[in-house]
Amino acid sequence: MTNSSRIAVCISGQIRTSNEKLREISKKADQVGADVFISVWKQRAGKTIESGPRHISILRLFGGVVAMFFPKNWMYQFETMFRDWKNILPDKRPVTKAELLEIFPGAIVEVENDRPELDLPEEKNSLRMLYKISRCNLLKKNQEKLKGYKYDRVIRVRPDMLVDFNVLTKPELEEQDLLVLPRRGNSLHDKYWSGSSETDNTMADLYEYSLKHRVSSWKGIHQELTDYVAKKGFNLIWAQATISDFVAFGDYEPDEKCGIASRFIEILRDENQVDQSGIHPTVLKIVTSLLQNARDYSCFETSIQPDVEVVAQLETLLKESNRFDQNWSLLPVVTLAFACDSRFTPHERALFAWRVLLDDALTWKSWLGFRIQNIVQLLPDRGAELLPFVTDPNNAPDLDSGQDIAKRLANLWERRWKEFDRASFLQCHAEISNAFFKSRDVRSAIYDHLWEKNRQEELIAFARLLVEKFPEQKNTKVLLAKTERHLNLN
């Protein structure tokens, strides 16, 4: 685009970030000389669990470490198990038009009260989001009518993520072109899009379109968005413009997550809450202990050292349970607790962690990537101890390391996986390996740890492994060359 091109940035939805983070968005809009239009709800809030995947919502509410110790069934039954869960959320002061104008000088701003009638049964926020997109588009259209011109490029973005607007303004586009972000399963993300002013008008009409079938045939926002752009015949162009995603940028602050975790633990200790939720007393005791340990680790920098009595409690609980009983969801989180326990050797901790990852790959694939990233933070060698298992399917021995706890956990896992055959194991191994090396954060954590500890042989072996895994990526070859120079191998 030319320097004289007119650019509009439309920010719409619910503000979940601090004003400091909103200033970062303002700076990015300033860099492309954009006019800013804002239509948001008055109530500032953080992520709840009322829309979107429950496991991601729990992750955003409690943070990575604490979320790792939620049993699977607790995540997916959270609202029914803990009816007063909203009491754990922090109070946030309302958004005002004046503060937004101070952050975005010259912007055209609209702040509205919530509209509960826009709730959808399974996606509370989706129709609200489309409504605010429509309202923000109307602000833009009114400005165009007032000024007597059309914007050459319009970028629509959520207020809880940071985007590089340069990426979304540079490409020359035809009228039917639309810059979008692809999502798994051949669907589209709702995070941002960019196109002509007329294209944005059409996209904003998705709100009115959705009202017509909001209950009878609603497929979820990502699929609805995908079907809509196909119906309108847009030419989609992939654009990766994310600097900081909503999971991080729009997240609760660390002190807020500590408060959420602490208030939730108080709920677990309240007999009235326990009676309402119908949780088995032993299950409640085990999970409360693990979550408190994780909360203390996250908030007060204590170590994670689970009470060994938790294994005896688990053994008793599972003694008569069949392999489909929900109580088996405790086994991975108990095993994970011992993977974080510094009383065990790094090798033993890796064995515990590996078994948890295998279970995720077998029963909970959507959680595997999150689990890997957070386990790496909790292990003493930042994931380097998992490399022998991740790279070679023949190098994953049993948990039985000679210690009593390991033997007892190994026996429980044997009962859990009676029908886990070699073919299933190899499939799970491939999925873990793929997710492990796919994560840039994991690769960086391992490399930085080996560099810091001056473990030279492992460092060069890891750098060479990355080149082998990603031969098409230039940055892996650059990293290998840097490592060789550092170790004087040239």
Q: Are residues 96 and 242 in the same domain?
A: yes
Q: Are residues 186 and 112 in the same domain?
A: yes
What is the reported pLDDT for 150? 96
What is the reported pLDDT for 435? 95
Q: Are residues 196 and 172 in the same domain?
A: yes
Backbone φ and ψ of 8, nearest 5°: -115, 135
Question: Is 198 a member of any domain?
Answer: yes
Question: Is residue 273's pLDDT more than 90?
Answer: no
- What gap in Å lies between CA 130 and CA 136, rounded to an integer? 10
Q: How confident is the model at residue 122 (pLDDT cuts 50, 70, 90)?
A: low
Q: Are residues 121 and 198 in the same domain?
A: yes
| For residues 1-20, average pLDDT | 90
Percent of the chain, pLDDT > 70?
Answer: 95
Question: Is residue 490's pLDDT more than 60?
Answer: no
Q: Are residues 155 and 291 in the same domain?
A: no
Q: Are residues 28 and 85 in the same domain?
A: no
Question: Is 148 a member of any domain?
Answer: yes
Q: Among 232, 249, 266, give the residue marking a domain's end.
A: 249
Burial of 128 (0-12, 13-18, 19+ CB in 10 A): buried
| For residues 289-293, average pLDDT | 97
How large is the greatest C-alpha to C-alpha distance in the chain, in angstroms? 79
Higher pLDDT among residues 39 and 347, named by residue:
39
Q: Are residues 73 and 110 in the same domain?
A: no
Question: Is 385 a member of any domain?
Answer: no
Residue 153 near residue 5 (C-beta atoms within 8 A): yes
| For residues 218-228, average pLDDT | 88
Question: Is 234 a member of any domain?
Answer: yes
Element housing 299 (H / E): helix 281-300
Burial of 371 (0-12, 13-18, 19+ CB in 10 A): buried
Higher pLDDT among residues 6 and 124, named by residue:
6
Q: How confident is the model at residue 446 (pLDDT cuts 50, 70, 90)?
A: very high
Percent of the chain, pLDDT > 90?
Answer: 69
Q: Are residues 71 and 123 in the same domain?
A: no
Which of 326-340, 395-409, 451-465 is the least confident region?
395-409
Q: Are residues 290 and 143 in the same domain?
A: no
Q: Among 249, 265, 294, give the residue marking a domain's end.
A: 249
Question: Is 175 a member of any domain?
Answer: yes
Q: How confident is the model at residue 180 (pLDDT cuts 50, 70, 90)?
A: very high
Q: How confident is the model at residue 216 (pLDDT cuts 50, 70, 90)?
A: low
Question: Is 98 a member of any domain?
Answer: yes
Question: Is 396 a member of any domain?
Answer: no
* CA-based radius of gyration for the chain: 25
Domains in the chain, number = 2
- What gap in Å lies between CA 372 and CA 330, rounded to an integer? 18
Which of 59-63, 178-182, 258-262 is the least confident region?
59-63
- What gap in Å lies between CA 72 and CA 79, rounded to an integer? 13
Range of the domain at 137: 7-46+92-249
Tell me the pairing of strands 177-183 and 235-238: parallel
What is the reported pLDDT for 20? 93
Which of 4-8, 53-57, 73-77, 482-486 is the least confident region?
53-57
Q: How confident is the model at residue 439 (pLDDT cuts 50, 70, 90)?
A: very high
3-state secondary structure of 13: strand
What is the reported pLDDT for 51? 63
Q: How confident is the model at residue 401 (pLDDT cuts 50, 70, 90)?
A: low
What is the reported pLDDT for 233? 96
Q: Are residues 66 and 140 in the same domain?
A: no
- What gap in Å lies between CA 309 and CA 143, rounded to an integer? 67
**Within the chain, how many helices (H) and strands (E) appear?**
25, 9
Q: Are residues 178 and 275 in the same domain?
A: no
Question: Is residue 336's pLDDT more than 70?
Answer: yes
Question: Is residue 47's pLDDT more than 80?
Answer: no
Higher pLDDT among residues 222 and 51, named by residue:
222
- What gap in Å lies between CA 282 and CA 51, rounded to an integer? 30
- CATH code of the domain in which 201 resides: 3.90.550
Question: Is 147 a member of any domain?
Answer: yes
**Mean pLDDT score of the chain:** 91
What is the reported pLDDT for 378? 92
Cβ-proximal residues to 78 (8 Å cutoff; 6+ apart), any chain:
49, 54, 58, 85
Question: Is residue 43's pLDDT more than 70?
Answer: yes
Higher pLDDT among residues 25 and 123, named by residue:
25
- What gap in Å lies between CA 12 and CA 132, rounded to an integer? 5
Cβ-proximal residues to 98 (8 Å cutoff; 6+ apart), any chain:
none
Angle at 465 between CA 240 and CA 378, to 5 degrees: 75
What is the reported pLDDT for 215? 59
Backbone φ and ψ of 170, nearest 5°: -70, -45
Question: Is residue 412's pLDDT more than 60?
Answer: yes
What is the reported pLDDT for 228? 94
**Predicted confidence (pLDDT) per residue in 315-332, tens digit:** 999 998 887 889 999 999
What is the reported pLDDT for 185? 67
| For residues 425-443, average pLDDT | 94
Q: How confident is the model at residue 183 (pLDDT cuts 50, 70, 90)?
A: confident
Q: Are residues 241 and 263 in the same domain?
A: no
What is the reported pLDDT for 83? 83
Terminal-to-terminal C-alpha distance of the chain: 45
The most confident of the ranges 23-27, 50-54, 396-400 is 23-27
